[in-house]
């Protein structure tokens, strides 16, 4: 069975074609600058990386180009060989706590959730529409970033704002990166050999979040109503005193839009260091003695440690700490700093092993460590494909 996994942004479309028999990625690629000048498609096929530069006016044309290319490369003889499509959708509000078969009702519900994620849901819906146009008879499944966190209890997801704001606008914490946290925590449970477990998953990329996974379920996560909350990120501030917003309005004369821009695009590691949002640049600058790069890194590590501490207490202990995404998978210095001084709770990092691990699945704690520490490369596309397969199979079973 072949599953096509799609992740659309406002001007981009990422895809993977996965043969589920063996879970092999047959082709993957990225269409960029859709609808603007300089659009292109970069893709990997048969071990080669290729690039096509041409005008791509909209997402439907992007999908058509992907399929033309797959046919030219003889990866597919016909589109009808695609059995199902899995779509990554950012926000499903309180509507869906798991992946679902996409119907008109589902698209309408996701459209309503555009209120929560105005930058993400509209392009995700465009991607669904584009695929429906090109493959009208192929079943499609929506997999949501927020869904995994729908198991958070109310005392964890509510803000201490007037309750009417929740009733009127569903103002609450939703959390994101759910597909990634779900994937890596599943792998961690397999490694631990038990589902009854206390796991903290640290998804540390340009966007970053921590998740407390108790017995396979998310009970807390660091991002909030939007992805701006929680950890310090590449360009996002994470948690700040909310009363700073009216203060900034007054002292700097900034509009809500300008403050939003500052907090999402000009803050975080970039804002503090004044150098870069990329940890590689920051660590180079730190080793050359740059004071603000050092400060940004120390702030990041300290905030991360506080979340790990809080979630360990919230779960009443910890079986495994997991690192994933760009920084989590590659940056041994951040992993070292996060694990430093945790011997009191039975966490012993294998310092030498940690240094050598980059982008691969590994246990980086010492054998005697009560708390296991894992590096688990995330694979959101595979998780989307697995959900899609499961839902499509269950529908076929009902029909049979």
Residue span binding ligand ADP (CB under 6 A) among the ranges 32-40, 52-60, 272-280, 308-316: 272-280
Q: Is residue 127 involved in binding ligand ADP (CB under 6 A)?
A: no
φ, ψ of residue 71 in degrees (nearest 5) = -75, -45
What is residue 390's DSSP assignment? H
Give every CB contact of residue 356 below 8 A, 6+ residues apart in sequence: 332
Contact call for residues 276 and 269 (beta carbons, < 8 A): yes
8 binding ligand ADP? (CB under 6 A):
no
Q: State yes or no: residue 207 binds ligand ADP (CB under 6 A).
A: yes
For ligand ADP, how many residues bind (rule: CB under 6 A)?
13
The structure tokens 């010492």 sit at 366
d(CA 128, CA 33): 18
Q: Annotate each residue in 276-295 with x if it binds ligand ADP (CB under 6 A) or - if it does not, as one string.
A: -xxxx---------------
Q: Of 67 and 176, which has the nearer Cβ to ligand ADP?
A: 176
Q: What's CA 325's distance to the chain center, in Å? A: 8
Helix (H) or strand (E) holding 211: strand 208-214
Q: How far is the CB of 144 from ligand ADP (least distance, A)?
A: 17
Least distance in Å: CB of 400 to ligand ADP? Answer: 39
Candidates 2-10, 81-89, 216-224, 326-334; binding stretch for ligand ADP (CB under 6 A): 326-334
Bridge partners of 27? 17, 45
Nearest-CA neighbor of 158 among 220, 73, 234? 220
Binding ligand ADP by CB under 6 A: which of 326, 339, 374, 392? 326
Stretch that binds ligand ADP, among 116-124, 271-279, 345-353, 361-369 (CB under 6 A): 271-279
Q: Which residue is nearest to ligand ADP (CB)?
A: 326
DSSP string, 65-89: HHHHHHHHTTS-S-GGGEEEEEEEE
Question: Does the footprint of ligand ADP cover residue 205 (CB under 6 A)?
Answer: yes
Nearer to ligand ADP, 29 or 207 (CB): 207
Q: 3-class DSSP state for residue 135?
A: coil
Considering only residues 328-387, where is the footprint of ligand ADP by CB under 6 A? 330-331
Give the residue numbers marked as catalytic: 145
**Residues of the shown chain interacting with ligand ADP in the complex, contacts defined by CB under 6 A:** 205-207, 234, 277-280, 325-327, 330-331
């Amino acid at each position: 069975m072949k599953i096509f996994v799609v992740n659309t942004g406002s001007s981009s479309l990422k895809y993977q074609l996965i043969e589920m028999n063996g879970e092999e990625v047959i082709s993957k690629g990225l269409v960029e600058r859709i609808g603007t000048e300089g659009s292109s498609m970069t893709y990997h096929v048969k071990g080669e990386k290729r690039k096509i530069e041409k005008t791509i006016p909209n997402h439907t044309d992007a999908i058509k180009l992907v399929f033309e290319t797959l046919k030219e490369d003889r990866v597919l003889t016909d589109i009808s060989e695609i059995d199902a499509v899995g779509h990554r959708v950012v926000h499903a509000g309180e509507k869906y706590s798991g992946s679902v078969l996409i119907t008109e009702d589902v698209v309408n519900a996701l459209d309503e959730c555009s209120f929560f994620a105005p930058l993400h849901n509209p392009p995700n819906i465009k991607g669904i529409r584009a695929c429906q146009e090109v493959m009208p008879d192929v079943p499609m499944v929506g997999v949501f970033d927020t869904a995994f966190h729908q198991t958070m209890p109310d005392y964890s997801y509510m803000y201490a704002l007037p309750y009417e704001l929740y009733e009127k606008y569903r103002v609450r914490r939703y959390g994101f990166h759910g597909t990634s946290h779900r994937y890596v925590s599943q792998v961690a449970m397999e490694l631990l050999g038990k589902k009854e477990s206390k796991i903290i998953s640290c998804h540390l990329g340009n966007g970053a979040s921590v998740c407390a996974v108790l017995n396979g379920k998310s009970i807390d996560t660091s991002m909030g109503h939007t992805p701006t909350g929680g950890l310090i990120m590449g360009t996002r501030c994470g948690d700040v005193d909310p009363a700073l917003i009216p203060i900034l309005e007054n002292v700097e004369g900034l509009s809500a839009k300008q403050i939003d821009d500052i907090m999402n695009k000009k803050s975080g590691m970039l804002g503090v260091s004044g150098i870069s949002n990329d940890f590689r640049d920051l660590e180079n600058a730190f080793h050359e003695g740059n004071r603000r790069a050092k400060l940004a890194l120390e702030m990041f590590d300290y905030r991360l440690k506080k979340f790990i501490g809080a979630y360990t207490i919230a779960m009443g202990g910890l079986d495994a700490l997991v690192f994933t995404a760009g920084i989590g998978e590659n940056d041994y210095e951040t992993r070292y700093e996060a694990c430093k001084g945790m011997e009191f709770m039975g966490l012993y990092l294998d310092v030498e092993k940690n240094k050598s691990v980059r982008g691969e699945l590994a246990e980086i704690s010492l054998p005697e460590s009560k708390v296991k520490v894992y590096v688990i490369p995330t694979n959101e596309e595979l998780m989307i494909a697995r959900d899609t397969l499961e839902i499509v199979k269950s529908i076929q079973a009902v029909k049979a």
